[in-house]
Amino acid sequence: MSEARRKAGDLARESIAAGDPVGWFEKLYVQAEGDPGAISWADLAPNPNVVDWLDREQVNGAGCRALEIGCGLGDDAEELARRGFDVTAFDVSKTAIDWCRRRFPGSPVEYVVADLMNPPNDWARAFDFVLESYTLQVLPAGVREAAIRRVARFVAPGGSLLVVARGREPGDPPGTMPWPLTRDELGGFVRAGLEELDCEDFLDDETPPVRRFRAVYHRR
């Protein structure tokens, strides 16, 4: 485990124990002091598991609104904008959002400080495409079902949701943060009113390989 991931895990455990499952994100970004190497998920490039899907599906976002959940340092949001989407990207960390704005001056992306557990009311059913990549897996199991309902609520009628997360079997130990999801947990999107179109279960190209779920949902 890298030092950056170990530090994130320590901050997460402290914050969760104090009853605040998301407060540690701001602490982590502040303590990074502008060094992306201190953020274990900050590759300074779009997530390849997202890009591969966008390429394969030949996604063109012209005329469509997109929302990215937990945007971090902004690379996935910029990729969606490059493909024509009108993008809103949010993170609970103000420091992360300020970092995005410095990295991408003049970007068409609207970077917003917001909390997934208490999002703006006018985002309900407002987005043609929603991207959730690696955020649910850093939330504790006790809040995931509620978080999944909130993610599903962003999807407009006729819209789609792409979810990418670590995966595990129900009987596997959850391990350390990031905590893999089970297929039943992903089923929360269906319970929240979306239709599952596809769910890939694959090993990625990391060393060592990591099991991932890549799932697509639709609202009629």
* Number of residues that this document lists for the chain: 220
What type of residue sits at position 139? L
> If one looks up domain 44-218 in CATH, what number appears?
3.40.50.150
Low-confidence ranges of the chain (pLDDT < 50): none
What residue ranges do the domains of the chain occupy?
A: 44-218
Each residue's pLDDT tens digit, 98-153: 999 999 999 999 999 999 999 999 999 999 999 999 999 999 999 999 999 999 99
CA dist 145 and 142 (Å) reads 7
SS3 202: strand
SS3 172: coil
| pLDDT score of 89 | 98
| pLDDT score of 1 | 65
CA distances from 37 to 9, 45, 134, 209 (A): 15, 13, 18, 21
CA dist 37 and 169 (Å) reads 31
pTM for this prediction: 0.97
Other beta carbons within 10 angstroms of residue 43's beta carbon come to 13
**What is the DSSP code (8-state) at residue 136?**
G
